Chains A and B, each alone.
Chain A
């Protein structure tokens, strides 16, 4: 069929979006039904054409939908211990499905440290199910909040389906909360050309980030990491920073497309980024990067763990023995270790992702705390007593450099290789000779793209984003900007290689 093999960067996606938007506004009373049906169709279109796979996908969707719907209804009616058992039961089923489809094979291979032939675990290898780790979290969050009596369980299965599988966010989030989505799916949305315009503009900005900027920076990363022995440490560091730009423009570009597509249906999705590269500490970075994931794990894992009687008692014991500060820190570090472990596993169950998204962030967080007094002393000796622009820039650069310890594992896609690359970089900092994978014209586009990105972030930080400035300008300027973006996309967009990184999670 025409829509088969669709992704966010293929032409048929626009046609799909246009058809769905048309039906959505032509049938105002059935908007949530349109959203639910379109979401399921979208899921099939992006998932290939194999009949066997489609049957499996249908069973999976119905299982997750059914468990979430029935689970919510049963939890709502139950009380006391029965409610707890039902909540854990329904969540265990969802986690079980997620685990089998996403993590079982990788974790089996990782935890046997290569001592067992990976082929022995082939029975755990299921065909990749795109998006499951995102919408499973939405569903688990919903069941938990029903058990917390924050709202009644959803009675209409279509509204619940629209929430769990909503197609713009199906494949890589943002991870939305039912309390924010329900009123939006229950309302009737009138066609508003201004909102459509805003949605298209947001999508265009996302495509620009992804196809013009991200794909070019990827060329450098692949060239240097693919041939790292011919490059020196400084070049490897540069390539790792290029990966930071590549990852940010890839993922935040994807979010712009997703949020913009939802805006076409007048549905507001949560933001996932808040200018993360302007963070002055790694802790702040995680509060601005993939925010819906961090907030989800904070609310449903970290806080409940921190709030257990065990943790409270532990805090008191440590406080009595080692003082107030330690009494706070020890339980917090333990709860954070649990949080990061979950986030690490969520990224796929491989060691390199676990190290990159659990071990290193945790170590950086603890180091940040330990070194804080020393940094304050240093700040006092800096120009402006640690309060001026110089110190702010210093802290931002330092944060970016520290985060390279995370990205090196993700770039290498292999724990041993990551350590070898770091070792090589330290032993040969100035080696030169390898290729960078880009020509002069690509380099010019990369530099201009990066400058545009930095201006955009700094403006956003000051509350004067491009969006705000454009919304205030006149029709001519607004039209020219959109046409210019489309022309730039077709002139400089790298369509043939594009695939979003976060689809894999």
Chain B
């Protein structure tokens, strides 16, 4: 899986979970940049991404990931 492919799939998950087709993500995107990505939706997004890529995020990463770039890095290592 290339980084671009991972990005595309992650963006689709975000759009599906947050019901917003205008969402665009970059490496630097943080929760504050995306309407609706708050503490309420954070775990919903994480679980949806886990299901999409067939792996589990370590709990420590869930609370310390700083931006989407870090999320993609983990997906590229552990995701399918």
Interfacial residues, chain A to chain B (CB-CB below 8 A): 145, 148-150, 287, 298-299, 302-304, 306-307, 312, 315, 328, 332, 335
Q: Mark B12-42, 1 if CB is under 8 A from A, else 0.
A: 0000000000000000000000000001111
Whether the Cβ atoms of B60 and A303 lie closer than 8 Å is no
Contacts of B47 in A (CB 8 A): 307, 312, 315
- Which of B33-80 touch A at CB < 8 Å? 39-44, 46-47, 58-60, 62-64
A145 partner, pick from B41, B42, B44, B60, beta carbons under 8 A: B60
In the bound assembly, the distance between CA atoms of A335 and B59 in angstroms comes to 16
Whether the Cβ atoms of B41 and A303 lie closer than 8 Å is no
Whether the Cβ atoms of B62 and A149 lie closer than 8 Å is no
A-B contact pairs, 17 of them (CB 8 A): A145-B60, A148-B59, A298-B39, A299-B63, A302-B39, A303-B42, A303-B43, A303-B63, A304-B59, A307-B59, A307-B62, A312-B47, A315-B44, A315-B47, A328-B40, A328-B41, A328-B44
In the bound assembly, the distance between CA atoms of A298 and B62 in angstroms comes to 11
Closest B residue to A300 by CB, please name it: B63
Contacts of B43 in A (CB 8 A): 303, 306-307, 335
In the bound assembly, the distance between CA atoms of A332 and B47 in angstroms comes to 13
Q: How far is the CB of B79 from chain A (nearest CB, A)?
A: 17
In the bound assembly, the distance between CA atoms of A315 and B51 in angstroms comes to 14
In the bound assembly, the distance between CA atoms of A432 and B56 in angstroms comes to 62
Residue in B41, B43, B44, B47 with the greatest tally of chain A CB atoms within 10 Å: B43
Residue in B39, B40, B42, B46 with the greatest tally of chain A CB atoms within 10 Å: B39
Whether the Cβ atoms of B46 and A307 lie closer than 8 Å is yes
In the bound assembly, the distance between CA atoms of A484 and B39 in angstroms comes to 43
| Count of A-B residue pairs with CB < 8 Å | 33
In the bound assembly, the distance between CA atoms of A299 and B39 in angstroms comes to 10
Closest A residue to B44 by CB, please name it: A328
Q: How far is the CB of B30 from chain A (nearest CB, A)?
A: 15
In the bound assembly, the distance between CA atoms of A287 and B38 in angstroms comes to 10
Whether the Cβ atoms of B42 and A150 lie closer than 8 Å is no
In the bound assembly, the distance between CA atoms of A148 and B61 in angstroms comes to 8
Residues of B in contact (CB 8 Å), total 14
Contacts of A148 in B (CB 8 A): 58-60
Q: How far is the CB of A271 from chain B (nearest CB, A)?
A: 16
In the bound assembly, the distance between CA atoms of A298 and B42 in angstroms comes to 11
Contacts of A332 in B (CB 8 A): 40, 44
Contacts of B64 in A (CB 8 A): 150
Closest B residue to A325 by CB, please name it: B19
Q: How far is the CB of B77 from chain A (nearest CB, A)?
A: 14
Q: How far is the CB of A7 from chain B (nearest CB, A)?
A: 34
In the bound assembly, the distance between CA atoms of A328 and B40 in angstroms comes to 9
Contacts of B39 in A (CB 8 A): 287, 298, 302
Contacts of B60 in A (CB 8 A): 145, 148-150
In the bound assembly, the distance between CA atoms of A245 and B64 in angstroms comes to 34
Closest A residue to B56 by CB, please name it: A307
Contacts of A303 in B (CB 8 A): 42-43, 59, 62-63
In the bound assembly, the distance between CA atoms of A306 and B60 in angstroms comes to 14
Contacts of A145 in B (CB 8 A): 60
In the bound assembly, the distance between CA atoms of A149 and B40 in angstroms comes to 25
In the bound assembly, the distance between CA atoms of A304 and B46 in angstroms comes to 12
Closest B residue to A294 by CB, please name it: B39
In the bound assembly, the distance between CA atoms of A312 and B43 in angstroms comes to 9
Closest A residue to B46 by CB, please name it: A307
In the bound assembly, the distance between CA atoms of A299 and B62 in angstroms comes to 9
In the bound assembly, the distance between CA atoms of A299 and B63 in angstroms comes to 6
